[in-house]
């Protein structure tokens, strides 16, 4: 299908004359790296304020810095058109969650991450044990994806399989329509399924598709110098740990919650959260911390139960100790408004105690771990990280160090003694998951006060 499109493009260029087929100027003479992309929940997306983010977006900004030019992102309706932009000479590079496809007349970069493919259905429909079980079924996929190619091959063996490629529909849309009962089955990659299943727990993987692929960037065949520079950048990003840190930042937390956790959380978003939403809005107005992040912390602490009490004596929605409550002026820890406002101020105080060089979103994740441990223990973990040659302002590095605080040989080096650092990691990773779900389901707080809001998803 795509080869036919490419042939038609070539005929069009020949008919229009050589001046139409001139490639885009080199990124250095043009003064920018032009990237063809598409909206995608994982690779490139815009938040409610129109700010861009995503795994590939952040990596491409770093590529631009390495090449010494800014990056211009041109959005296309789908991956096929983004690839055509490179073939037509309108972009230097296509980056749109693209599965490596050697049959296309493009140079593919080194792998950014590995990916495999699945067929998703509704959990109440049961698994499909073999290809014969797809007979008479309708499977939708994003046009131009490798999942779509898998389906095309299966249809040769199962002629009654109905394969559909809805125009302009990405994985996020297709899986939402599947969850709503509007589609029969959807072929997608496992990571997109994992993202969707957190807000649509009625989804299930009904069949694995064979083989694995890699997500890569596509470049024109006639620019080996750019291809070499991009591959060198990716290799450096892999060897330095940049790729692993970015992957963890964007989807390292995705699979932490099980189906029961997610289902319970979604029910409580509808049943409990409405009673307290105004208090979280007020807390954002006071602290600048996104109310959905504060709500995620509160859910991890108490499941939005204002009467929660632990065996250690912490109480209330935000599970404050009596000493912390006194410092914050919280007279009644069981009053939900007081608890939420007090906990928000405490989290903001912890954020402010971290060095200015600490970037977001790591800064907020570190403050969340300190919320659990106390800043004394957290500072001790940072000291241990430095002694091991790790970055003490990177959550990726710190979450491998925090569990060491319970071991005697490390606890002896801490002024505050031993601590359950592993529990702080679990808490923070769960908060990341709850926050991400709330970001997808709940609108941002809108205030006429125009107070600065904390950005947890964009690089500083």
Average pLDDT, the chain: 88
Domain pair 2-110+215-251 / 114-214, same fold:
yes
CATH for the stretch 2-110+215-251 = 3.40.190.10
CATH number of 260-441, picked from 1.10.10.10, 3.40.50.300, 3.40.50.1100, 1.10.530.10: 1.10.530.10
Q: Domain 114-214's class?
A: alpha beta
Confidence (pTM): 0.79
Q: How far is the C-alpha of 108 from the C-alpha of 90, rounded, in Å?
A: 17
The pLDDT score that the predictor gives to residue 313 is 85
Taking the mean position of all CA atoms in its chain, how far away is CA 34?
23
Catalytic residue among 301, 352, 360, 423: 301
The angle at the Cα of 283, spanning 278 to 287, to the nearest 5 degrees, equals: 155
pLDDT digits (tens, 9 = 90+) for 120-166: 999 888 899 999 999 999 999 988 888 988 999 999 999 999 999 98
Over range 405-409, report the average pLDDT. 86
Break the chain into its structural domains and give their ranges: 2-110+215-251, 114-214, 260-441
Query: What confidence tier does 5 reach under pLDDT thresholds 50, 70, 90?
Result: very low
Q: Cα(first)–Cα(last) distance of the chain, in Å?
A: 42
225 is an active site residue: no
Nearest to 430 by CA among 391, 372, 383: 372
Over range 382-399, report the average pLDDT. 93
CB-based contacts of 14, cutoff 8 Å, min separation 6: 21
Tokens of 322: 């009596």
Over range 14-41, report the average pLDDT. 75
């Amino acid at each position: 299908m795509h080869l036919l499109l490419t042939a038609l493009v070539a005929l069009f260029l020949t008919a229009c004359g050589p001046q139409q087929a001139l490639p885009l100027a080199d990124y250095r003479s043009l003064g920018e790296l032009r990237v063809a992309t598409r909206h995608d929940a994982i690779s490139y997306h815009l938040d409610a304020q129109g700010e861009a983010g995503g795994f590939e977006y952040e990596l491409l900004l770093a590529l631009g810095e390495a090449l010494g030019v800014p990056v211009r992102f041109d959005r296309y309706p789908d991956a096929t058109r983004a690839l055509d932009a490179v073939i037509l000479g309108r972009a230097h590079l296509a980056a749109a969650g693209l599965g490596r496809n050697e049959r296309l007349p493009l140079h593919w970069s080194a792998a950014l991450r590995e990916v495999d493919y699945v067929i998703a259905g509704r959990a109440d429909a049961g698994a499909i044990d073999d290809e014969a079980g797809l007979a008479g079924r309708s499977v939708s996929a994003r046009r131009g994806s490798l999942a779509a190619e898998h389906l095309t091959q299966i249809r040769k063996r199962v002629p009654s399989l109905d394969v559909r490629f809805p125009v302009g529909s990405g994985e996020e849309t297709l899986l939402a329509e599947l969850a709503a009962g509007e589609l029969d089955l959807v072929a997608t990659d496992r990571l997109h399924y994992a993202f969707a299943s957190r807000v649509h727990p009625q989804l299930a993987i009904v069949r694995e598709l064979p083989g694995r692929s890699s997500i890569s960037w596509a470049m024109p065949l006639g620019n080996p110098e750019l291809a070499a520079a991009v591959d060198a950048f990716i290799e450096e990003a892999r060897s330095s740990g940049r790729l692993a840190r970015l992957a963890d930042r964007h989807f390292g937390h995705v699979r932490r919650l099980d189906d029961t956790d997610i289902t319970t959380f979604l029910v409580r978003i509808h049943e409990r959260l409405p009673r307290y939403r105004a208090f979280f809005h007020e807390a954002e107005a006071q602290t600048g911390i996104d109310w959905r992040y504060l709500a995620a912390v509160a859910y991890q602490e108490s499941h939005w139960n204002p009467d929660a009490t632990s065996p250690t004596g912490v109480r209330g929605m935000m599970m404050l100790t009596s000493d912390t409550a006194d410092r914050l002026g919280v007279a009644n820890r069981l009053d939900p408004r007081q608890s939420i406002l007090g906990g928000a101020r405490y989290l903001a105080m912890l954020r402010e105690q971290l060095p200015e060089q600490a970037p977001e979103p790591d800064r907020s994740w570190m403050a969340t771990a300190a919320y659990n441990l106390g800043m004394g223990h957290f500072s001790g973990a940072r000291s241990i990280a430095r002694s091991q040659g790790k970055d003490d302002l990177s959550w990726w590095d710190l979450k491998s160090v925090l569990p060491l605080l319970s071991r005697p040989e490390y606890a002896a080096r801490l002024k505050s003694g031993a601590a359950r650092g592993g529990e702080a990691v679990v808490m923070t990773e769960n908060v990341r998951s709850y926050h991400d779900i709330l970001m997808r389901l709940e609108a941002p707080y809108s205030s006429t006060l125009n107070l600065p809001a904390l950005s947890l998803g964009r690089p500083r």
